Amino acid sequence: MVSPLRRRRAYPRVRAGGARRRLVRRLDSFEREDAVIRPAGPAVGALLLLHTGAALAQGVRVSGSTSAQYFEVRPLVTDSVAVETTDGAGVLRRAGDGVPVRCFPGESFCRYYRAVDPVSTLPLIQDVRVSAWGFVPGLRLYAHVRGRAALGDARDLWPRADDRFDALALFLELDRGFLRARAGRQWKSSGLGLYNFDGGLVRLQSAGGLGLDLFGGWGLVRGLNEPVTAGALRAIEELAPDERTYLVGAEARVGPWRSFQASVLYQREIRSDRAALHSERVAADASLRVAGSLVTGDLELDLAGGAVNEARLRADLPSTAAWGAGVEVRRYQPYFDLWTIWGAFAPVGYSEALGRVHWDAGSELDLRARGGWRRYDESGAGLSFAPLRRDGWRLGADGAWRFAAAWTLQAGYQVDVGFGAARADGDLGLRRELGERASLAARLSAFQTAQEFRIGEGTVLGLALEGGVRARAGTRLAGSLQAYHHRSSVAAGPDWTQLRASLRVEWALGAEPGQRAAGGGR
């Protein structure tokens, strides 16, 4: 669906008549064929730039990873039973075998979901990272590109399986000590998270601990590396933006002493035609080390929405060689950009208090425990006779015991009870080191949920086998095989029984600047 707010396209100036109509049709056809034509431009441009840069560079390091993952799921389909075979009254009832069903007034059948035969997919991902330097002092070319493919009878299960190529990063960087400048596709990491954009960044850093970042360019969807006008976003957002966005921001840092550091960031996203504001946010963080304790604070503000998205204060208390503890208080409110409709549903926030403690007996035994309590804001939902729960809590503990030189036993358990659902899970693992280059591990797991759709009423048991080997410097092979069995208390409904497997190869050629390559890699 095309947004009714879409502006009329500005075509090149061509005299009215048949020539203009043919040009308009041709440009429109390019947009319709965008899934086929558009990827070729970035792909060819990235490959040409990489080839040219590598040819001119004095030093090149190429690394990458090749991964294959097998997933198996059991899709859900709608089924029905006769009304007279159900127990109870009203819209929500149970069938004779205990399956929850929904019965609408005036209909003779009640509906429910059941799992069918499993389907599978095998996504393949190839990542390549190239770093080339030596053109001029301090100049570097960096690129991170990704190729995708998917096999199996359910390829659409894997997100973006039809997007064959992505340039996750592709920039030139000039480092002059106090000045660092980047131009191209890059990312900015801050208290607001990770933002990708196509543009430039200038970083000034003084010897006294003062720093300033200025950045801006075309905005990209976070985690998608595509504009907000891309087809991937339109597939899930009927009112997705019809114009690209500009991302601009500045961050100031201060760290005059090792015991104190702080930063403040301002960031703004607007439509490229300046007709609307997408976001205006501020992030601030600080850390102070005093009397053996480390105190950190974080703050995220939504200036456009007039909300505090997150406020966190954390203290790591004075510790000994074996003992350590910490406390944390947090206020959280979900954030959404102004262009999306999801913010209109007014998701509620919560306040939370957390605590943790750990005991480390050298390299042989490591124990950790944590807990927390949270209070949700009033939602105005629920029923008068059955209001929603407004508090929640979580507890967890885990540990590792190295009972022999090459053997380690690991175990953990945690439970999380919320206002509408609860989950508990535990795991037990055994790891064997095979020298300095290889390892094998086996892990048992189990998790259970209550009043949660994905698992329903039941328990999922899992068994996993994992292994890894470092063949040579810069090359590593790792794989795993996992089997899950869903034990449900009802005869039908969601079934999480499935198989999963993965295989990953990591490799590297060349050395970092100032290091000598050995054995074809590092």
Per-residue pLDDT, 61: 92
Task: Report the mean per-residue pLDDT for the chain.
Answer: 83
pLDDT at 522 over 70: no
pLDDT at 520 over 70: no
pLDDT band at 521 (very low <50, low <70, confident <90, very high): very low
Look at 2-6, 40-44, 73-77, 284-288 and tell me which has the smallest mean pLDDT.
2-6
**Mean pLDDT value of segment 77-90:** 88
Per-residue pLDDT, 147: 94
Per-residue pLDDT, 383: 60
Look at 20-34, 300-314, 408-422 and tell me which has the smallest mean pLDDT.
20-34
Q: Which of 20-24, 55-59, 96-100, 259-263 has the highest mean pLDDT?
A: 259-263
Per-residue pLDDT, 98: 75
pLDDT band at 164 (very low <50, low <70, confident <90, very high): confident
Let me know: does 419 contact 392? Beta carbons within 8 Å. Answer: yes
pLDDT at 190 over 70: yes
C-alpha distances out from residue 415 to 76, 204, 329, 394, 410, Å: 27, 46, 20, 6, 18
pLDDT at 114 over 90: no
Per-residue pLDDT, 448: 87
Look at 164-168, 437-441, 458-462, 493-497 and tell me which has the smallest mean pLDDT.
493-497
**HSE (side-chain half, CA atoms, 13 Å) at 67:** 17
Whole-angstrom Cα distance, residue 23 to residue 505?
48
Per-residue pLDDT, 209: 86
Per-residue pLDDT, 32: 34
Per-residue pLDDT, 139: 93
* Distant-in-sequence, close-in-space partners of 117: CB < 8 Å, separation ≥ 6: 74
Whole-angstrom Cα distance, residue 183 to residue 174?
9
In the structure encoding, which two tokens stand for residue 234, read together?
Answer: 């339109």
Helix (H) or strand (E) holding 323: strand 323-332
Let me know: does 173 contact 136? Beta carbons within 8 Å. Answer: no
Look at 52-56, 317-321, 441-445 and tell me which has the smallest mean pLDDT.
52-56
**282 residue type, one letter:** V
**Mean pLDDT value of segment 245-268:** 94
Per-residue pLDDT, 162: 79
pLDDT band at 53 (very low <50, low <70, confident <90, very high): low
pLDDT at 7 over 50: no
Per-residue pLDDT, 255: 87
Q: Tokens 């499935």 — which residue?
A: 498
Per-residue pLDDT, 300: 97
283-299 pLDDT, tens digit each: 999 999 988 899 999 99
**Higher per-residue pLDDT: 433 or 474:** 433
**Mean pLDDT value of segment 223-248:** 81
**Higher per-residue pLDDT: 216 or 38:** 216
Radius of gyration of the CA atoms of the chain, in A: 28
Whole-angstrom Cα distance, residue 415 to residue 425?
7
**Higher per-residue pLDDT: 134 or 352:** 352
